[in-house]
Structure 1
Amino acid sequence: MRKWVQEMGLGLAAVGRPAYITLGRDEDLGRDRDVAAMRARTWEVLDAAWAAGVRYVDVARSYGRAEEFLAGWLADRGIRPGEIEIGSKWGYEYVGGWRMDAARHEEKDLSAARLRRQLGETRELLGEHLTLYQIHSATVESGVLDDEEVLGELRALRAGGVAVGLSTTGPRQAATIDRAVATGLFDTAQSTWNLLERSAGEALARAHAAGLTVIVKEGVANGRLTSRGAP
């Protein structure tokens, strides 16, 4: 499996669906959250990132229409597979119905059946652009890292040339990272690490030493470490 390194990436969670948790988002996006407006804003953000030299984009099946918006941008701009790294994730499904006031926006299921279905959906949109496919918010408690059916599907995907990884969540990120490293399967580990949440730091260092690419998410704590998070 080839190794790839990017110093900076762009995540599309905040522009792929109408409601999200990032501070200051209402001010940035305004009231118009219909699909066309969000697609246009996504393309604007992608254009700016591309111009700035960003060559890694992070999406997920649960990020509303993020994969769809990205696929359209790639086609319109004529960007070929290999010119940009695309990482997506499976396990959560967007169920918000494109509503700001939805009672529930996403649903988690880390079964092999969902992996197979969502991988098919991702590939239909992103095709050969897909570089990395990750378990979305893996935890030790979920049992996904001991699910041989899931691991077998991921091994087959990896053997076909797509890197496999996981993102982590919750208070036991370090234990999840260590368990993932022990499987010998994963190419990447994506974890929350910032000045307010450093618990995964040593485990991420161990993962890096074991040969995994480390991806830091929530580096500014969803805006809390920017001027918008000031009291």
Structure 2
Amino acid sequence: MWFRLPAAWAEGRGRSTAFRTPGIRAVPARRPGVLDGIVDIVDRLAGASRIGLGLAAVGRPGYINLGRATDLPADRTVEAMRARAHELLDRAYAAGIRYVDVARSYGRAEEFLAQWLHARPDAHDVVVGSKWGYTYTAGWRMDADVHEVKDHGVATFERQLGETRALLGDRVDLYQVHSVTVDSPALRDAELHRRLADLAARGTVIGLSTSGPSQAETIRAALDVRVDGRPLFRSVQATWNLLEPSAGPALAEAHEAGCLVIVKEALANGRLAVGAHAPGDAAALAAALRQPWATMVLSGAATVDQLASNLRAERVSGDPARPEDVAVPSVRYWEERSRLPWG
């Protein structure tokens, strides 16, 4: 299992950009400073799976992934979804996964993860990434008119950071602005940048996730954001998959600039996993893992069988599936995604 080191500072660490170690290390004391936060994450993930577990699909009863009617319990109570999340976390940890992705808008995902971490003191080596900027508004209903509301203002950051800390304490290693687009104030708000830089100075890596047909433009704009002459965003989480690979060149630039690069929605919300012309989950995830700039690729599994199948991606051999065989125009991809029903 290989973990890819950001290229811009690999030589300074005396390592190649892809390396392997015998196993997971104990969590070191968090060191202050932006780069030290990234170093801690990389050190702790060395030897772990390059597949991370995202809890978007199991932190709330409704989401837009295909197949949820058969994947999840018919009665999606808080207790049932908590049990499913903990089952997935147990299996993921046993399989060597050490990165877990949550967000304030993923219903109770942060809460479920916090409870699991409390019950599993042996899981001290798990790296936690969370996101702020969307507020969950569905009230644990699948038929809500609005499931989440976006706001990238300072007040929302301060409120949601407090909520995240109340649940996860100091276990959050990476805190990302959720779903940034080119028009987001997160790219321009100097006061927000200062608050984020203050958090980074205390050892939390600051990143952003992107969405929409202009991801590449958003990523490049984020790479230019500086506070006191230093880059602010040290991690990028973006949609890249065989249907929508347009962010690839910008993600390569982010990797070269020293950012962690996390791939989300590698299965296009299930569209690449099921169907007569879909390559299948392992092949689609393997295509993402083979990108030279990808640090981590997220699994959004909702069942332990899906997780086991997703993990096969690390063992796929032969000619990989290629974006040029199935890619669609970016605008079309995001329009089709916007029409996926919550269920």
Normalised to the residue count of structure 1, the TM-score between the two structures is 0.96
User: CA 1:223 to 1:168, structure 2 compared with 1: closer, same or farther past 3 Å?
Assistant: same
Does residue 165 of structure 2 align to residue 118 of structure 1?
no
Kept in 1: contact 2:236–2:261 (CA 8 A): yes
Specify every segment of 5 or more residues in structure 1 that has no aligned partner in the other structure, as ranges. none
Query: Identity over the aligned pairs, expressed in percent?
Result: 59
Aligned to 1:178: 220
Aligned to 1:68: 111
Does residue 193 of structure 2 align to residue 151 of structure 1?
yes
Separation in structure 1 between the aligned mates of residue 263 and residue 64 of structure 2, nearest angstrom: 18
Aligned to 1:217: 264
Separation in structure 2 between the aligned mates of residue 88 and residue 133 of structure 1, nearest angstrom: 5
1:9-45 deviation digits (Å, cap 9, x = unpaired): 1000000000001111110113110000000000001
Kept in 2: contact 1:80–1:129 (CA 8 A): no
Separation in structure 2 between the aligned mates of residue 115 and residue 46 of structure 1, nearest angstrom: 27
Q: Which amino acid aligns with 1:75?
A: H
Q: 2:250 aligns with which of 199, 203, 211?
A: 203
Bigger relative contact order, structure 1 or 2, given CA contacts below 8 A and separation 6+?
2
Aligned to 2:234: 187
1:93-104 aligned within 5 A: 93-104=135-146
1:86-123 deviation digits (Å, cap 9, x = unpaired): 00000000000101111110011100000000001001
1:38-117 aligned within 5 A: 38-79=81-122, 81=124, 83-117=125-159
Aligned to 1:35: 78
Partner SS, residue 263 of structure 2: strand
Specify every segment of 5 or more residues in structure 2 that has no aligned partner in the other structure, as ranges. 1-34, 226-230, 279-343
1:147-185 deviation digits (Å, cap 9, x = unpaired): 011111100000000000000011110011001111111
**Runs of 4+ residues deviating >3 angstroms:** 228-231
Separation in structure 2 between the aligned mates of residue 19 and residue 69 of structure 1, nearest angstrom: 16
Separation in structure 1 between the aligned mates of residue 258 and residue 186 of structure 2, nearest angstrom: 21
Partner SS, residue 58 of structure 2: helix
Separation in structure 1 between the aligned mates of residue 64 and residue 183 of structure 2, nearest angstrom: 25
Of 190-199 and 26-35, the range deviating more from structure 2: 26-35
Q: Which amino acid aligns with 1:227?
A: V
Normalised to the residue count of structure 2, the TM-score between the two structures is 0.65
Residue 227 of structure 1, CA deviation: 2.4
